[in-house]
């Protein structure tokens, strides 16, 4: 159990200009479950591999506990890692796979046996201990990979997309199991995924990366409610936030035939950067279907309705818009699943008070509301 600290940690691959990880600052608390999330190529795996010692750190430093590990070999860092393809040793039995690290450390045989059995019990693997990985299902292999990490009793767990090789149903099950297990063991965990649902459901805190740059790190709920910029707003949440650019006239954003009043702080911030447009975002659940003529509402033509039983989502296009930026853009709104609108219907939507998020067109940063 330990705190993990990234201090301006940077990695530049040879032959490339842009750093794969650019001055990453991240303070991961003792026992915390931190998820690194982002689209492919955002540097999340590289960040994890830097912590593992599998990737060089070209600038800044990384510490585990009080120890600077920036230039230590992987084996001296007291960590355990779960790989995307599990990286089980095909020539060893499940028991040997799980006890491998202890064997390398030359732990006494009885101790290895005891810890392997303990972990196997925890993960429902007891009956498979003599099998080779080849004879296991995908889910069982995944658990062996987890078991191998647990047996080690390391300071930090590192997990690199450990669920991405499982089918959708198993992934959801295993997701909660891993999160529960981590809380039980209380070991600091850094978990990499490209799946924002995984990030939101598992992490104590979530760090969003893009192009090697940390965008925001916060609790899942705060990320969802208070995204720091347009990228985080669009990346976190499913279906994603509606984001569109609107012209600003006076102290109001113009939504076609209707207007949304902006706060003084927002206007002030807009003035400072000299923009006459604003990005306005709202979550699908941040709007309601209203009657014709409701002030502050805008018309949408329904193209698709997704009925999920507990929820229904309307996918539509801005009707009547003359702004080329918004032509053809999709609007997503959560609607009453008991009486969803029909395809082709024209409805009016109104953003619920306080549910709009405003971002700068210039920098993408959120504007003070």
Partner 1 sequence: MSTSMTPPASPMPPETLPGEATRPPVTAAPRGEAQSPLEDSSRRTRWLVTLLIVVALLWTLVPLVWMLMSSFKNAEAVTAATPQFFFSPTLDNYRNLFSGANNLGPYIVHSVLAAGISALLAVGLGALAGYGLARTHMRGKKHLAFWIISTRMAPIAAVVVPLFLIFRGLGLIDSIPGLILAYLTFNLPFAIWLMSAFFAEVPSSLEESALVAGCSRWQAFWMVILPLTKSGLVTTFILCLVFAWNDYAFAVVFSGPSSQTLPIAASQLVTQTGIDWGQLTAIGTIVVVPMMLAGLAVRRWLVTGLTLGAITGE
Residue 79 binds partner 1, judged by CB under 8 A: yes
Report d(CA 243, CA 224) in Å as an integer.
14
Q: Which of 59, 83, 170, 197 binds partner 1 (CB under 8 A)?
A: 83
Only segment of 126-134, 284-292, 297-305, 310-318 that touches partner 1 (CB under 8 A):
126-134
Instruction: Give least dist CB 90 to partner 1, A.
Output: 3
Residues in 84-103 that interact with partner 1 by CB under 8 A: 84-85, 87, 89-91, 100-101
Residue 152 binds partner 1, judged by CB under 8 A: yes
In the complex with partner 1, which residue's Cβ is closer, 29 or 103? 103
Q: Which of 8, 71, 105, 265 binds partner 1 (CB under 8 A)?
A: 105
Only segment of 47-55, 208-216, 227-235, 314-322 that touches partner 1 (CB under 8 A):
47-55
Residue 250 binds partner 1, judged by CB under 8 A: no
Residue 124 binds partner 1, judged by CB under 8 A: no
In the complex with partner 1, which residue's Cβ is closer, 53 or 227? 53
In the complex with partner 1, which residue's Cβ is closer, 101 or 178? 101
Instruction: Give least dist CB 344 to partner 1, A.
Output: 49
Instruction: Give least dist CB 167 to partner 1, A.
Output: 16
Instruction: Give least dist CB 302 to partner 1, A.
Output: 46
Query: What phi and psi, each to the nearest 5 degrees, are found at residue 26?
Result: -150, 130
Residue 81 binds partner 1, judged by CB under 8 A: yes
Q: Which of 52, 202, 208, 260 binds partner 1 (CB under 8 A)?
A: 52
Q: Which of 74, 186, 247, 368 binds partner 1 (CB under 8 A)?
A: 74
Instruction: Give least dist CB 151 to partner 1, A.
Output: 10
Residue 132 binds partner 1, judged by CB under 8 A: yes
Asked whether the beta carbons of 333 and 284 are under 8 A apart, the reply is yes
Contacts of 351 (CB under 8 A, 6+ apart): 260, 282, 286, 287, 296
Instruction: Give least dist CB 63 to partner 1, A.
Output: 18
Binding positions for partner 1, rule: CB under 8 A: 52-54, 73-75, 77, 79-81, 83-85, 87, 89-91, 100-101, 104-105, 132-134, 148, 152, 158
């Amino acid at each position: 159990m330990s705190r993990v600290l990234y201090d301006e940690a940077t990695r530049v691959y040879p032959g490339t200009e842009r750093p794969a990880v650019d001055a990453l600052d991240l303070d991961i608390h003792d026992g915390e479950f931190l998820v690194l999330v982002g689209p492919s190529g955002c540097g999340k795996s590289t960040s994890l591999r830097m912590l593992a010692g599998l990737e060089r750190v070209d600038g800044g430093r990384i510490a585990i506990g009080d120890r600077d590990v920036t230039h230590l070999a992987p084996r001296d860092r007291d960590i355990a890692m779960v790989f995307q393809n599990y990286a089980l040793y095909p020539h060893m039995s499940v028991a040997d796979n799980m006890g491998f690290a202890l064997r390398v450390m030359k732990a006494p045989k009885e101790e290895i046996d005891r810890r392997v059995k303990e972990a196997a019990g925890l993960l429902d693997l007891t009956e498979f201990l003599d099998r080779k990985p080849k004879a296991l299902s995908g889910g069982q292999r995944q658990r062996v990979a987890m078991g191998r990490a647990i047996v080690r009793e390391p300071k930090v767990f590192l997990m690199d997309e450990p669920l991405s090789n499982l089918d959708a149903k198993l992934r959801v099950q295993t997701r909660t199991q891993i999160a529960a297990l981590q809380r039980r063991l209380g070991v600091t965990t850094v978990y990499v995924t490209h799946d924002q649902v995984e990030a939101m459901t598992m992490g104590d805190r979530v760090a969003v990366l893009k192009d090697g740059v940390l965008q925001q790190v916060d609790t899942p709920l705060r990320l969802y409610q208070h995204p720091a910029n347009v990228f985080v707003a669009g990346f976190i949440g499913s279906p994603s936030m509606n984001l569109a650019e609107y012209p600003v006239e006076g102290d109001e954003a113009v939504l076609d035939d209707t207007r949304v009043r902006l706060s003084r702080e927002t206007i002030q911030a807009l003035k400072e950067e000299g923009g006459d447009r604003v990005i306005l975002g709202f979550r699908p659940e941040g709007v309601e279907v209203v009657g014709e003529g409701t002030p502050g509402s805008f018309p949408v033509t329904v193209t698709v309705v997704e009925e999920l039983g507990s929820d229904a989502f309307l996918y539509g296009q801005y009707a009547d818009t003359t702004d080329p930026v918004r032509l053809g853009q999709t609007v997503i709104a959560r609607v009453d699943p008991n009486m969803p609108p029909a395809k082709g219907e024209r409805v009016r939507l109104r953003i619920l008070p306080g549910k709009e998020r405003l971002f700068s067109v210039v920098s993408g940063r959120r504007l003070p509301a």
